[in-house]
Every structure is written in C-alpha cells, then in structure tokens.
C-alpha cells in the first residue's frame, strides 16, 4: 500500500517540482529541528520523540519517491539542484541517527532511508548516469561529497553500519543487503567500489565479530539473506582476483574455519558430546554463504578455485549432514540449493579442459546428494498439510539440480555406461522413485514443483530417450498422463515444456514404428518394442492427448500455437484412424450449413502433408495449422457456430 502511494506521489510531485521541493524542505527542516531538540533534552517524552520519528519517516519516503520520479532522459539542472537540497538533508539526518545507534534506533525510519537510498541509486548512481549533475555540486558544497566515489563511500558506510547494529531486524538486514547487491551489479560501479577502504574492510572481515547477522545465534529464518551478502562479496572479490589463489584462500579463511569446525562436530555425531543445534545452524549458514559465492563466480577461473576448494575435502561433510538430518528441511534445503547452484553452467563457467575429469566428478557428487536425499526422504511419513515444506520442496530442488547437470553440456553421459559407472543410472532411478511418490494432482498444484519437473522431463525426452524407453509401463503411463494434464496448465512455461517433451516422445515412437521390421546393422533396441507394447495396450492415453491438443488449438485461447503444432503432426500420424473419427465427429457436431466448410478446413490442414516427421514436412504442417486455426476462429465469431459439441466429444 505504501509503495503504491509513493509511486503516485513520485509522478504528482514532479508536476510543479519547485513548489513540491520548497514544501518538503520546509516540513523536513521543522521536523528535523524539533527531533534534534528532543534528542538533546533529558526530559523529552518518548511519545513526542516517536511522533517526530514518524513524521521524518514519511518525509524521507516522500523525498525518495520525489527523486525517483526524475525522468532520466529529460534532465533539468534546476530540478537536479533541488534534488541536491533534499539529498543533503536526508544524509544529515542519517548522520544524526547513526551516531545514536549505540543507544537506540528507529526501525521504520531506517527502512525509509533504505528506500531513499534505493531511489537515489537508481537516478544518480551507476553506469547509465550523467555525473555532471547539479546534485553532486550541491553535495560537494554542503557535505564535501565531490564525486560518485565519495557518494558510494557514504552508501557503503551506511551498509556496514546497518549490518553491524541492526542484526536483530531481518527487514533492515535484507533491504540493506539488497542495496549492496544492486550496487555490485553495475560494471563501472563495482570497479569504483573495490577501491574503497570500506569495501576492502568487508572483504577482509566477513565474520560474525564485525557482522553479527553472520553468527550462529540468530534465528534460522533470518539466515536466508546471507546468500545475497556473499553474492555481493563474490562480485567484488572477482574484480581484481584473476588467478590469485593466495588471495582467494585468504578470503575463504572464515568459511574454511567454519567447515573444519562443522566437520569436527559431525565426527562426534554418535557421541553424547555432539552439539547438534550448533552444528545445524553453522551448516545452514555456511551452505547459504557458499551458494551466494557460487552464484557470483560465473567465470571459469573463479568457479574452479571454488570447486577445488570444496571438492574433495568438504563435500563429504555436506553428504554426512544430509544423511544425518534428512528429516529437517531447514538443513537439507540450503545444502540441496548449494549443490543445485554448483552444477549450474552459468555463463558457460563449466568449460573443463579435455584432460580434466572435473565434469564427471561434479556430476558424481550431485548424484550422491540426489540419491542420498531421495532414498531417505521416501522413508518419511509426512502429514498432508506439511507435504510441500517437508518433502516436495526438496524433491523440486533435486529435479532442478538434475536438470541443470543433464543440460549443462559439460559431461559426456555416454561414458558412465561405457565404464560401468552407475552415477547416472542411480540419479535417474531416484528421479523415478521420487516422481512416483508424488500424487499427480500435486505436480500442478505447486508451481515451483511443476516448473522443475516439466523442464527436467523435457531434458530427459530430448537427450535421454533411451532411459525413458526402458521405464516400467506404469511409470511411462504416469509420465504421459502428467504431460496430458500439463498441456492445459495456466503456466505457459509448463505448457510449452509439455509440448516439447511430447514432441520428442512422439517422434521417437514414430521412428520406432517406421523402423520396425527393417534390418538395421549394429542396432539392437528391444526396449523400443516394449515402449510400443505399452501404447498398444493403452492407446487411450495418446488418444486423450491428441484430443486435448486439438481442442486447445481449435477452441481455446492458445498462447503457444507453434509449440502445440510440433507434437500434433506426430500424434496424428500415430493415431490416423482415431484422428479420422475425431474429425468426422467434429464435422457432424457443427450446424448443417457449416459442415462442408469444416470438412474443407480439415482437408486443408493435411494438404501436401506426407507421412514423415522431417523438418520440411513439420514446417508445412505448422503453416497449415495457422490457417486452420484462423478459419476456425473466424467462424466461432459468427452467431450460429459453437464449439460445445466438439468440446464435449473431444474431452470425453
């Protein structure tokens, strides 16, 4: 609500900006003067202090929104000078409140200042900002801040102050870290930041002694923002890191000590001396820290430093923890997310040398984690109302991890079977077991789970069809049924993924049927025959999918027509007799005077289409389908044609 009001004020305030600024300056000076008097008076009533804090909070929010309303491409020197007046006042107030943080502070006022800093950053700090603005002239005259680097120094000092004194406020810590993260994204900005003494202090002293929110005495729920902190530190470290391993190891020292400490505690896991809660909290925090670093290290050099640091020395500790606390998602979720980030080929950072086994080693570790978690979580009875938090969330992360590893293009998966390595088979078999433990309705009820499942399925259908074709009939039918459900999902990403998966499966089936009976030298695929036998026993599943796809294309608001068109041709060729029945039923369901037109449109749909799935034939079918859908839609707009009869028949 406050944000919506501020967005409106940012526009309204700019209409007659001179009057707006004059009023804001007047009101701010009155409140700031009164606030300062109250703070210096030993007899001041707390209610009066809180009243002025409330007034200043609103004024700081409004000043931030007024500055944020500046249109970057329509600069006005007078307006920039007015902004400078407002900025100076907020920074002076900040100096006053920060000087009193050892005694007390106002959380709402601090949040308002962070909102102000964010607006000021967007308009006057960063790569796309003109640095000759009159804002900087006014800041130089009043506060001695003559350039952007000095202003950035103010930002960073405020960030450090908040992290030091506001560890008890999750809101302030998170918004402060978001500000730091935003500052470290810009190319030129991050390079100016690393030259500041304050930033070097952070890079050299990221411990709970200096930043209490990094300690193990905070609540687990308040540790979530630690990843953001270490992502920012990682970006800053990378600017001048290069291949300097000594500097990297020096930076990692607090994390190294944390790992050693956790390892020592876990070694006593079976003894009465085991400090379970302390070990858990330390592990949760460390996992979040490392995930933040892994996200930031998006170059080959920096990633390999991290990988060599964590493997093989510390990954066994993470695995041990997963085995020990598999029932506790507050522990398993951060560890799973860390591994999901490590296997992510972000910015092509996982480009290993031809003589390096690191890609295979990395996948092996991911496989161990997936298998360990999967094996254990399947033994846990979870109440229905806690299903997502206790089980499905972890499974979703495992799906995401497996997808990232399979699609990362840094592992030759043919090597595993060739040399008898079971890491790939174990991971895929665990995926199947986890999938079958999920009621099919839950796949679409939980958006994050549905997205991770369907993108993983698309990856498997594209590159690992040999695995899918060996699945038990019940598993294959489950997957086809989940695709059928996903085709009508509201989430376009899910629907598009289903279309792609279906296209790969249908293409594979069509090739199997086409090649059946042909002599192919050196090829022996009995599993393909089993695949076909399942569909011969249960033809209704593909019939239902064909009906669903055709129904969506003909009678619904199809948002991804091209994606829908790709599997449709294969479905028609695999089910020609059923398609002909479907077509006749649709034609007969139309009013008598429209039946001939509908029949002609179906003829046009298959015009010049051959019995193959070659690219040229597919493209021709896609073009025909566009015209087919256009004709159907034009007719549906008429007063005498409805889709109800066709709909009822097709979905029955």
DSSP H stretches of helix in 101-220: 107-124, 134-143, 148-165, 170-183, 187-193, 197-204
Pair of tokens at residue 198: 């304050």
In terms of Cβ atoms closer than 10 Å to its own Cβ (0-12, 13-18, 19+), residue 19 is exposed
Query: What residues have CB less than 8 Å from 301, skipping those under 6 apart?
Result: 241, 242, 243
Of 240-244, 467-471, 530-534, minimum mean pLDDT range: 530-534
* pLDDT, tens digit, 9 for 90 and up, residues 173-226: 999 999 999 999 988 899 999 999 999 999 999 999 999 999 998 889 889 899
Q: Is the pLDDT of residue 515 over 70?
A: yes
Pair of tokens at residue 363: 């996948």
Give 522's pLDDT tier (boundaries 50, 70, 90): low
φ, ψ (nearest 5 deg) of residue 557: -80, 85
pLDDT, residue 130, reads 58
Closest to 228 measured CA to CA, from 182, 269, 261: 182
Please tell me whether the overall predicted TM-score, pTM, comes out greater than 0.85 for this model. yes
Asked whether the beta carbons of 471 and 508 are under 8 A apart, the reply is no
Stretch 392-400: mean pLDDT, rounded?
98
Closest to 280 measured CA to CA, from 328, 230, 227: 328
Of 32-46, 66-80, 164-178, minimum mean pLDDT range: 66-80
pLDDT, residue 649, reads 43
Cα-Cα end-to-end distance for the chain: 46
Of 90-104, 513-527, 549-563, 612-626, minimum mean pLDDT range: 513-527
Of residues 399 and 532, which shows the higher confidence score? 399
Q: Establish how many alpha carbons lie within 13 A of residue 625's alpha carbon, considering only the half-sphere containing its beta carbon.
A: 25
Stretch 607-627: mean pLDDT, rounded?
95
Nearest-Å Rg of the Cα atoms of the chain is 31
Give 526's pLDDT tier (boundaries 50, 70, 90): low
Give 645's pLDDT tier (boundaries 50, 70, 90): very low
Name residue, tokens 């120094």. 153
SS3 content of the chain, % helix, strand, coil (to 5): 75, 0, 25
Domain locations in the chain as residue ranges: 539-651
How many CB atoms sit inside 10 A of residue 303's CB? 23
Here the contacts of 552-558 (C-beta below 8 Å, separation 24 or greater) are: 552/487, 552/488, 553/625, 553/628, 553/629, 554/586, 554/629, 554/632, 554/643, 554/646, 555/632, 555/636, 555/643, 555/646, 555/647, 558/629
In terms of Cβ atoms closer than 10 Å to its own Cβ (0-12, 13-18, 19+), residue 611 is exposed
Please report, rounded to a whole number, the percentage of residues in the chain having pLDDT higher than 70. 94
């Amino acid at each position: 609500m406050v944000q919506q009001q501020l967005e409106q004020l940012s526009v309204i305030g700019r209409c007659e900006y001179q009057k707006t600024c004059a009023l804001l300056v007047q009101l701010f000076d009155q409140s700031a003067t009164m606030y300062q008097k109250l703070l210096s008076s030993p007899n001041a009533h707390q209610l009066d202090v809180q009243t002025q804090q409330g007034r200043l909070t609103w004024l700081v929010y409004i000043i931030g929104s007024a500055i944020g309303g500046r249109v970057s491409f329509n600069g006005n020197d007078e307006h920039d000078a007015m902004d400078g007046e407002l900025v100076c006042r907020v920074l002076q107030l900040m100096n006053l409140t920060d000087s009193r943080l050892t005694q007390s502070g106002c959380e709402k006022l601090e949040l308002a200042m962070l909102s102000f800093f964010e607006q000021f950053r967007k308009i006057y700090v960063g790569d796309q900002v003109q640095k000759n603005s009159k804002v900087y002239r006014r800041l130089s005259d009043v506060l001695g801040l003559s350039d952007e680097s000095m202003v950035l120094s103010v930002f960073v000092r405020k960030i450090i102050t908040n992290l030091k004194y506001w560890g008890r406020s999750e809101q302030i810590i998170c918004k402060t870290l978001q500000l730091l993260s935003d500052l470290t994204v810009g190319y030129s900005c991050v390079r100016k930041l690393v030259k500041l003494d304050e930033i070097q202090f952070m890079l050299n002293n990221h411990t709970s002694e200096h930043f209490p929110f990094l300690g193990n005495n905070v609540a687990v729920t308040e540790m979530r923002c630690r990843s953001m902190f270490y992502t920012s530190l990682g970006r800053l470290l990378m600017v001048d890191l290069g291949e300097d391993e000594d500097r990297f190891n020096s930076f990692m020292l607090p994390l190294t000590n944390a790992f050693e400490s956790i390892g020592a505690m876990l070694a006593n896991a079976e003894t009465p001396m085991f400090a379970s809660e302390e070990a858990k909290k330390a592990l949760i925090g460390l996992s979040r820290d490392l995930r933040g670093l892994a996200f930031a290290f998006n170059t080959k050099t920096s990633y390999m430093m991290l990988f060599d640091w964590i493997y093989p020395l510390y990954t066994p500790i993470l695995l041990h923890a997963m085995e020990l606390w598999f029932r506790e998602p507050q522990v398993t979720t951060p560890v799973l997310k860390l591994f999901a980030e490590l296997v992510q080929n972000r910015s092509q950072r996982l480009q290993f040398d031809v003589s390096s086994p690191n890609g295979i080693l990395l996948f092996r570790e991911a496989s161990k984690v997936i298998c360990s978690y999967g094996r254990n979580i399947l033994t846990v009875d979870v109440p229905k109302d806690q299903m997502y938090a206790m089980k499905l969330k972890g499974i979703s992360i495992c799906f995401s991890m497996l997808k990232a590893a399979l699609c990362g293009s840094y592992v030759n998966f043919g090597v595993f079977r060739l040399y008898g390595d079971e890491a790939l088979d174990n991971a895929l078999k665990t995926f199947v077991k986890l999938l079958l433990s999920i009621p099919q309705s839950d796949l679409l009820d939980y958006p994050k789970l549905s997205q991770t499942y369907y993108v993983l399925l698309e990856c498997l259908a594209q590159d690992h069809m040999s695995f899918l074709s060996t699945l038990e009939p019940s598993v294959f039918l489950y997957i086809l049924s989940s695709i059928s459900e996903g085709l009508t999902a509201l989430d376009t990403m899910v629907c598009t993924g289903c279309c792609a998966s279906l296209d790969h499966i249908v293409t594979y089936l069509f090739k199997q049927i086409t090649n059946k009976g042909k002599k192919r030298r050196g090829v022996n695929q009995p599993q393909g025959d089993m695949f076909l036998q399942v569909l011969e026993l249960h033809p209704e599943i593909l019939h239902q999918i064909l009906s669903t796809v055709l129904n969506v294309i003909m009678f619904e608001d199809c948002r991804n027509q091209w994606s829908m068109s790709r599997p449709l041709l294969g479905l028609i060729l695999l089910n020609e007799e059923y398609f002909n029945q479907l077509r006749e039923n649709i034609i007969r369901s139309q009013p008598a005077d429209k039946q001939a037109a509908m029949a002609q449109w179906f003829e046009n749909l298959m015009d010049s289409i051959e019995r193959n799935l070659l690219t040229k034939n597919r493209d021709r079918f896609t073009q025909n389908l566009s015209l087919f859908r256009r004709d159907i839609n034009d007719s549906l707009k008429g007063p005498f044609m409805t889709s109800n009869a066709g709909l009822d028949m097709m979905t029955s």
